[in-house]
Structure 1
Amino acid sequence: MRGFGYSEERLVRVGIVGTGYAAKLRAETFQKDERSQVVAIVGHTPEKTQEFAQTYQAEALTSWVDLVQADIDLVVISNVNKEHGAIATAALQNNKHVVVEYPLALDVTEAENIVTLARDRDKMLHVEHIELLGGLHQALKQNLPTIGEVFYARYATVTPQHPAPHKWTYHKDLFGFPLIAALSRLHRLTDLFGEVASVRCQNRHWGEGEFYQACLCTAQLQFTSGVIADVTYAKGETLWQDERKFEIHGEKGGLIFEGDAGKLVQAEQTTLIEVGSRRGLFAKDTEMVLNHLLTNTDMYVSPTASLYTLKVADAARQSAEIGQAVVIS
């Protein structure tokens, strides 16, 4: 990617699609950084857009179509999953750099085309995966060599909610297939263990209509290295016990993380593992984006890595539909 050509007179002009939690944290970081300026905002409703724009002294626009055509350098996409692909494509076609919260798109072919377009236009495309920056993942990678050859991993995130919120995150079309929408659950594993040979998945929703009351999605990944990993993603009204657990078993020990607590279990002893905070990760990601744009420093994750995990997640979707394992070529 060509250098941005930053000077004191030329700030990185940012447009943000979304007014939720991630958009707020990014806007705060851009506002505090003297190298950037939030110029335009598009939200879900005129009221939220206007309020958000006033907070960050930006222009409130009515459509993301207008935003990608505006006089800005960088488009940040922090809205419903269903629209990620279309907005990223339009932004790149208008010669804008792009930051998008995962997933890049709900459709693999669309995501492949976006990665190609960014390369052809020589523009930055960054798919956020802050789970790789967090204390849990860093502790996993640091301690992984101590447990010898890994053969099994299990990652479960279960979130009871009573009642389930009437939000886009409980909407089949806007949120997408659970393991595509919650791509970080698989991306942790592909980052640690590499290529996946096959995946078998089951998925169930409760409730009628577009919005559901609960979902349960479980998958088993067989890695080419021989590692087997079980993944569970569940949320909503039919769940009764919160769980956030990641465990990895090797021939010389195991790494067990529950919530924000970790331990290394070996035959002779159990050692507590300090896990760094999850706070400040969006700010860190945003600062790295600016550094990459202005000084061409490397990002911590590539769009092709995210795309590969998206292909694994889509194989899980196919497996759930046909009721059998899917081999990943």
Structure 2
Amino acid sequence: MTDASLKSLSALPLRVGLVGTGYAARLRAETLKADPRTFLVAVAGHTPEKTQVFCQTYGATMIESWKTLVTSPSVDLVVICTVNRDHGAIARAALEARKHVIVEYPLALDVAEAEALIALAQCQNCLLHVEHIELLGGVHQALKASLPQIGAVFYARYATIKPELPAPQRWNYHQELFGFPLMGALSRLHRLIDLFGTVSTVNCQTRYQKREPTNPYYIACLCNTQLCFNNGILAEVTYGKGETLWQAERKFEVHGEKGALILDGDQGTLVQAGGRYPIEVGSRRGLFAKDTAMVLDHLTTDSPLYITPAESLYTLKVADAARRSAEEGRTIQV
């Protein structure tokens, strides 16, 4: 941020409008309430009843529509924590109203829309921050710090499988609301790209299961993607959830010429010719609070952020290549 953009803000505390009342919104609200630099003034949610309870909990005013919230003169910063489908539209309206914006990934479900939003934020001299807390987590930080110990990397595998029986009829089991699996779950690709750089080709296969063909909610999805990085590293990403997946998995493996790093859940292991050695892995707790605090530091002191919108956009382009690969049945050049 620049001094000129900071002048567009009201004096501290910054007045924040929140769109959403789910898990991420609750964690954001708790952080905003605890930080003296911010005042949570308004919340717009999906249902009036749930939004009213949320507002009572956090001392905010309920706004019936996000369209009203983002244009309110009493809001300086808009935090978007709602269904993926609506991220782009809300961010655009907020930026057009000259508000600073925090949005959970993905920025949008359409690459062209995301590109236009980044350009709009620059034109409006407003902050556009796309959250990627996976980069702040203990597992990713431990993995990144340990990479030099295994030499030149040639293969990585990242699998997250979540059995749910019964599958909930929630927005994250809805193709339109959640988006293509690796767009909705963009962090599965972003961690690999943060570690290994740009991608040359993508090959992806995706399967959905539904009880009824006309029901917009699926009961399971499985997405398997192979990435070839420009530096020659091969990687495989498996993302699945739902009723017909029976074994949970959260595992990240990186194999190199001098050993391997195995992150299984919250446990880390370095495997080398001489044996197996534990890796200290930090906590996954408090990451939304850390992300929020870093944004506030950036807005008030111009300190650097850990992620740029352009970096998130690049991963979105890779996810879109995976979508096209799954739909067209062919390898896609990125």
Q: Distance in 2 between matches of 1:281 and 1:10?
A: 24
Q: 1:21 to 1:246 in 2, by over 3 A?
A: same
CA distance in 2, matches of 1:220, 1:292: 36
- Which one-letter code corresponds to 1:98 in the other structure? V
Change (3 A) 1:6 1:64: closer
- Paired residues, number: 328
**Matching residue within 169, 173, 191 for 2:172:** 169
Aligned to 2:187: 184
1:194 maps to 2:200: no
Number of the residue aligned with 2:257: 251
Q: Residue 12 of structure 1 corresponds to which residue in structure 2?
A: 14
1:191 Cα offset (Å): 0.3
SS of aligned partner of 1:239: coil
Larger deviation, residues 46-55 vs 189-198:
46-55
- In structure 2, do the counterparts of structure 1 residues 27 and 296 end up closer, same or farther at CA, with 3 Å as the change threshold? same
1:83 maps to 2:89: no
Structure 1 segments (4+ residues) deviating >6 Å: none
Q: Which of 274, 284, 294 lines up with 2:280 in the alignment? A: 274
- Unaligned stretches of 5+ in structure 1? none
Cα deviations across residues 118-148 of structure 1 (Å, max 9, x unaligned)? 1111111100000000000000110001110
TM, length-normalised to structure 2:
0.97
* Deviation at residue 11 of structure 1 after TM alignment: 1.1
Partner in structure 2 of residue 51 of structure 1 = 53
Q: TM-score, normalised by structure 1?
A: 0.98
Distance 1:317 1:214 in 2: 17
Q: What secondary structure does 2:244 align onto?
A: coil
Distance (whole Å) between structure 2 residues aligned to residue 72 and residue 32 of structure 1 = 18
CA shift, 1:48, in A, is 0.9
Identity of aligned residues (%): 62
Alignment partners' CA distance in 2, 1:296 and 1:201? 40
> Is contact 1:98-1:124 (8 Å) kept?
yes
User: Residue 60 of structure 1 aligns with which residue?
Assistant: 62
Say which SS state the counterpart of residue 251 (structure 2) adopts: strand
Q: Deviations over 1:306-327 (max 9, x none)?
A: 0000000000000000001000
- The question of whether the paired residues in 2 share the 8 Å contact of 1:22 and 1:282 is answered with yes
Q: Is the 8 A contact 2:9 2:76 kept in 1?
A: no
Q: Secondary structure at the match of 1:98?
A: strand
Residues 6 and 294 of structure 1 are in contact (CA less than 8 Å); yes or no, is this contact kept in structure 2?
no
Q: Displacement, 1:270?
A: 1.2
Q: Distance in 2 between matches of 1:5 and 1:258?
A: 47
Instruction: Single out whichever of 180-189 and 116-125 deviates more from structure 2.
Output: 116-125
Q: CA deviation at 1:9?
A: 5.3
In the alignment, the residues of structure 2 paired with residue 161 and residue 23 of structure 1 have an alpha-carbon distance, to the nearest angstrom, of: 23
**Paired residue secondary structure (2:263):** strand
2:129 maps to 126
